[in-house]
Chains A and B, each alone.
Chain A
Amino acid sequence: MKLNDIVIQTTTKFVLFIILAFSIFIFFNGHHHPGGGFIGGLMTSAAITLLLLAFDFETVKRILPIDFKILTASGMLIATLTGMGGLVFGGPFLSHTFGYVHLPFFGEVELATALLFDLGVYFVVVGSALTIIEMIGGDQ
C-alpha cells in the first residue's frame, strides 16, 4: 500500500542535498566554532535515513554501495593514526598542528590536523548510526 510516497520522494530529492551540504559546512565549521565531526556525521546519517524512509533499502544500497561497518572501522583507523602522527614527529600522542594555505576560490584557509581526526569521527558516526539502522530496519 503506497499512497503518499510521491510527496516525500519529491521533497527528499531536494532536501537531501541541502542537508548534506549543511552537514559538510557544520563539519568544517568545527575547529573554532560549534560543529565538528560528530554533529556533521549525525546530520549526514539523518540525510541518508531520510533517503531510506522515502525510498527503500535496495535503492539506498545502489546509491551508496558502502559497507557501513567497514566505514566505521576506517573512521577509527583514521582517528587513531592521526593521533599517532604526533608520535611520529616526536611529540606526544594526539598533539596537533595547523597551517595556512591559499586555496583558489576560498582564499586564505586554516588547515589543522585536528580536521583529519574529525574526519575519522565523522566516518565512525555515519558508519555506526547507519549500521544500527541497517540492523533494525534492514529485514523488511
Chain B
Amino acid sequence: MTNYVIWTLLIPLLAGIIMLFIPQRVILQRTISIIASIILLINTVLLVFQIQTEGIQKMELGGWAPPFGIILVGDMLSGLLVLTTALVIIPILIYSFSSIGVEREKKYYYSIFFFLVTGVLGAFLTGDLFNMFVFFEVFLLSSYVLIVHGSTQKQLRESFKYVLINILSSALFVIGVAYLYAVIGTLNMAHLGERIASLTEPAPILTVIALMFLIIFGLKGAIFPLYFWLPASYTAPPTAIGALFGALLTKVGIYAIFRTYSIIFVHDPAYTHTVLGVLAALTMIFGVIGAVAHKDVTKILVYNVIVAVGFVLFGVSTMTEAGYQGAIYYVIHDMIIKAALFLLIGALVTVGGTKYLKQMGGIIKYHPALGWLFLVAVFALVGIPPLSGFIGKVLLIQGGTTVGDYWIVFLMMVASLLVLYSMIRIFLQGFYGKSVLSSKEEHGTTKGLLFPISLLIALSVLLGIGAEFLYPFVQTATEVLLQPELYINAVLKE
C-alpha cells in the first residue's frame, strides 16, 4: 500500500532540493515546479479518497510507534486542507511565471516556494505539537526569504517587523510546548487529548496553557489584538508571494487553533471557547473596519483576510456540527478566493499603475475580462449563492444560532455586508467609473495573468456548485472533530 501521507511532504521537498542545483535554468525550473505541483495534486486527491474509504491514515517515521516516535496523521480535516493547498499553488505558480521576473527566478524563488509549501503541508499533517513547531519553522524561514526576496526598500523594512514578530511567536511556542510537556508529560496530540480527557479535575494551569497557545497561533493566524503586523507585511512582497501568504500562512494558524481546540484543550470549553468566540467576533469587526477605512486596494484586501479569520474561528468556538462544517467549508473557500483576489488586485495594480482607488477608474473598458472576473470573485467572497462562500456562511450561522450566540451571528452578517461594500467599492471606482487612462497610457499588461486567475475563480464556482459532492468529506472531517476518540484511537490503538 502506498502511503500518500509521506509523499505529500516528499514531493515538494524533493522538487525544492532539485531546483537548488539549477538556479540559472529558469525554463527548466518552471517545468519542474509545474510538474511537481501536478504530481502533488494527484497525490493529495488520492490521499483524500484513501482517508474517506479507509479511515485516518498515519505514518510512523522510522517505525517508532506513537506516542514515542514522530508521527504524521492524515485525517479528513488535514486531508482537505492539504488538497486545497495543492490546488491553490498551481495558479500561483503560473502567475509567478509571467510576473515575478527572471532576476528573482534565478535567486532560488521556486526552491523556497516549495520549501514553504513543504512546511505548510507538514504543519497540516503532523501528529505531535513539537513537530508542528518544526514545520512552522520550516515555512516561517522560507517566508522570511520570500518576503525579502528581491530586496526592494519596502520589503526590507517590512520584513524586519515580520521576522521580529515571528521570532517572538516561535519563542512563545517553544515555551508553551515546554509547559504542556511539564504538565501532561507528552506532546503527541492524540496522547495529549487522551490524557487531558481522562483527568477528573483538570488543573487551572491547563487553561492558561490553552490561552497561551491561542496567543501563539493567533499571532500566526492574525486574530484580533495580534493582527497588527499583517497588513503591511502581506502587501510588501510581489503579488504572487502575497497571494501565497494570504492563501496559506494565516490558514496554518487557523488550522492549529482548530486542531488544538477540538482535540486537546476541551477540558474547559465554557471559558476557553467563549474567549475564542469573543476574539473571533472582535477580529471580524476590526478587520472589516480596516477594510472599509482604507483607500489603498491592497490594504482593503489584506484586512479582508483578517475578517475571514474571524468567521472561521467563530465556527470553531461553537463546537457544534454545523459550526465545524461551516468553518471547514469557509476555510477551503477562503484559501481559494483569497488567492484569486490577491492575484486580481495584483493585476489591477499592474494595469492601473497605482494602489490608490482615487487615481484609478474605467479599467474595465480595456480589460473587460479582468473586471468581470473581479466581480465574480467579490460575489463569491461575500457568499452570494451559488458561489462558494454561501454554504460556509449558512452553516456558520446555523452553528451560531444552535448555541445561542445571536449577537456574534448578527455581527457576522453586518461584517459580511461591509466586506461586500469594501470590495464593491474597488469595482465601482477602480474598474467601472470614468476612465483615467487611455489604453496607451497603461502601465502593464494582463498577458499571462488572466489564465491563473480564471482557474481559481472556476475552482471557487465549482466549490459552490459542487458543495453537495464535497459534503460527505466535510462530514467525515467533522465526525473526527466532534468525537476526538476517533482520532485518538486511530493514532494510538491500531
Q: Which of A72, A86, A87 contacts B20 (CB 8 A)?
A: A72
Residues of chain A with a CB closer than 8 A to B6's CB? 87, 92-93
Minimum CB–CB distance for A97 against chain B, Å: 10
Residues of chain B with a CB closer than 8 A to A72's CB? 20
The answer to whether A92 touches B10, judged by C-beta atoms less than 8 angstroms apart, is no
Q: Is B63 an interface residue (CB 8 A)?
A: yes
Known A92-B61, A92-B63, A93-B61; contact A80-B21, beta-carbon cutoff 8 A? no
Known A84-B10, A87-B6; contact A76-B17, beta-carbon cutoff 8 A? yes
Residues of chain B with a CB closer than 8 A to A70's CB? 20-21
Q: Is B13 an interface residue (CB 8 A)?
A: yes
Residues in B32-83 with C-beta less than 8 Å from chain A: 59-63
Known A69-B20, A76-B17, A76-B20; contact A95-B10, beta-carbon cutoff 8 A? no
> Who on chain B is nearest to A84 by CB?
B10
The answer to whether A73 touches B17, judged by C-beta atoms less than 8 angstroms apart, is yes
Q: Is A91 an interface residue (CB 8 A)?
A: yes
The answer to whether A73 touches B59, judged by C-beta atoms less than 8 angstroms apart, is no
Q: Is B14 an interface residue (CB 8 A)?
A: yes
Minimum CB–CB distance for B299 against chain A, Å: 34
The answer to whether A92 touches B13, judged by C-beta atoms less than 8 angstroms apart, is no
Interface size class of B (residues with CB under 8 A): 10 to 19
CA distance A84 to B63 in the complex (A): 13
Q: Mark B1-15, 1 if CB is under 8 A from A, else 0.
A: 001001000100110
> Who on chain A is nearest to B16 by CB?
A76
Q: Is A96 an interface residue (CB 8 A)?
A: yes
Residues in B339-398 with C-beta less than 8 Å from chain A: none
Q: Mark B453-487, 1 if CB is under 8 A from A, else 0.
A: 00000000000000000000000000000000000
Residues of chain A with a CB closer than 8 A to B18's CB? 77
The answer to whether A80 touches B61, judged by C-beta atoms less than 8 angstroms apart, is no
Residues in A86-120 with C-beta less than 8 Å from chain B: 86-87, 91-96
The answer to whether A92 touches B17, judged by C-beta atoms less than 8 angstroms apart, is no
Residue ranges of B at the interface with A (Cβ–Cβ < 8 Å) = 3, 6, 10, 13-14, 17-18, 20-21, 23, 59-63
10 A-B pairs with the lowest CB-CB distances in the bound complex, closest first:
A73-B20, A94-B62, A95-B63, A93-B6, A94-B61, A76-B17, A95-B62, A92-B63, A77-B17, A73-B21
